Structure 1
């Protein structure tokens, strides 16, 4: 069996120091699959959880880290259609992107827009698909809605802010922990209309001021426990909240459920990686039709832009993970296969 280079984990799980560049069997595409030679891949916080043994990949997926990438089609499996060897693509996977090659379903690839670099293209799949799913499919954002997005400087946060503006939300309030991050979110072309430092301000009180006491119609939250009561307080009547993670913890003590009934709230948890192939296929197809061609690089002219915090060669994968864990980035962290 032929080999490829890949980022592996000593002992299969552990601290950042266990990441190393080694060799692994090169995958072969099965029926309806495509082999892609990877140019760049994106980092996501789930990678840390998987590295630590807390978030195993879905059944049938590679145990190698990484769920988003850009690259060129290298080989078609039996029955694969719609692609040719040499096509430039970006894609979503259940795992395996920290590698020289990856096998994915033919439906989980998108044509790379010519205006995007490999690095910019690799920043799109997980962040923008997660934001699109949370905001549009689940949050049902509409023209004139007021929106609150937590972790605004994260890759998903920046994508969600821009999508909310693209879908003509009336206000988009973003939270972050530093003034530098907040200022950056106000500067981007389709950036937040309002910002809140969640460490020094009560975001529920701030969105009430912004919405003249009504509250927000849609919340995208990654934080969980520490934000829960303020989130419920922030929501307007018939408000919707999509919960994507619980970075502060999953347990909310002594919570009064009366507002859920009184305000007719709709709260839904969601994940993308564990969804069925058919669900992901439909999501990717809709995103490809509705959004992808509107995205350009940070210096581009598209209404929606990618924002890259830093690009690492994959020989510096440990430093990339340390940066992600420190939560100091504004925008995506991308790794190039060199």
Structure 2
């Protein structure tokens, strides 16, 4: 099979199209013939050498795919050869074939192409587990999403809006802010021009944000603490601007804040299966009804993966970038 090899760590140019034997599904796994694979920020970090695959995972990049099941391992009951699915992979997505746990597969929602379906798993698993499971966002609460025009951001805005929250977002251009508001954000703040702490405080009558989803870090860490409402929850899923800062922690105590965060890839198959079940029962019907839709910024053929990574690193896109095979 063709796949993207990573013979060394570095810039996009280190990735190479190569050939190897296709994997075989182990017990509890299915083998997917990949039609499309989503690109995510962890792929960039892995390519640079800072996010090694967990023990037992494929060293090949790629954490989400869509395609056709062509083989099933022992013990798999739900899926059969010929089924089309999207799946959260533990690695191996940048390839013509990938073996994934059957419990991490989901049906392709009605009306979505396989390219669109490939853009679902990583971001929807991440947003659901962090915003709804860890932070416990409820209808009527206020959510602030940093990086609102990213794949994570566009997913979080749509999910929170459809579940009855008031949503605010930050983004870096007028075009990106407009996209956030079109997806359901009450107000998107251009962080280059305005102070999001002041804007959200004013818009909420001084209440602040009940939940903040942050992948920026850096000086946002202290500002998020300032903005958080009483009993607020701040969830970090990345630290693009750095994780080491000096912070006044007194408001954490005085406002009874919860600071938390997570990464998805190292979590157990049982945890991922539980997230998949929640998504299928609570979110997939909304996608079927057309109320939520993945935002596709661009597609690239597998052999042009370096260009796809360059676009991701430029942050010039809105939504998801997808490889096609």
**Deviation, structure 1 residue 269:** 1.3
**Cα distance in 2 between the residues matched to 1:210 and 1:274:** 38
Indicate yes or no: 2:251 matched with 1:236.
Answer: no
Shift of 1:57: 0.9
Q: Distance in 1 between matches of 2:138 and 2:145?
A: 15
Among candidates 278, 286, 290, match of residue 294 of structure 1: 286
**What does 1:112-123 correspond to in 2, within 5 Å?**
112-123=108-119
1:7 is matched with 4
Deviation at 1:174, TM superposition (A): 0.4
Per the TM alignment, residue 325 of structure 1 is displaced from its structure 2 partner at its CA by 0.7
Aligned to 2:162: 166
Tell me by how many angstroms 1:226 deviates.
2.1
In the alignment, which residue of structure 1 is the partner of 2:54? 58
> Aligned-pair distance for 1:166?
1.1
Gaps of 5+ in 1: none
| TM-score of the pair, normalised by structure 2 | 0.98
Displacement of 1:117 in angstroms is 0.2
* 4+ residue segments displaced more than 6 Å: none
Whole-Å separation in 1 of the counterparts to 2:121 and 2:72:
21
Distance 1:193 1:157 in 2: 14
- For 2:298, the equivalent position in structure 1 comes to 310
Where does residue 179 of structure 1 map in the other structure? 174
> 1:74 maps to what in 2?
70
Q: What residue number does 2:267 align with?
A: 275
Per the alignment, in what secondary structure is the counterpart of residue 26 of structure 1?
coil
Give the Cα separation in 2 of the matches to 1:221 and 1:15. 25
2:12 is aligned, of 7, 12, 16, to 16
Q: What RMSD, in angstroms, separates the aligned Cα atoms of the two structures? A: 1.0
Per the TM alignment, residue 183 of structure 1 is displaced from its structure 2 partner at its CA by: 1.1
Equivalent residue of 1:196, what SS? strand
| Secondary structure of 1:251 counterpart | coil
Cα displacement string for residues 254-293 of structure 1 (whole angstroms, at most 9, x for unaligned residues): x211100000001101111111111111111111111013
Structure 1 stretch displaced more, 100-109 or 17-26: 17-26
Report how far residue 212 of structure 1 moved: 0.2
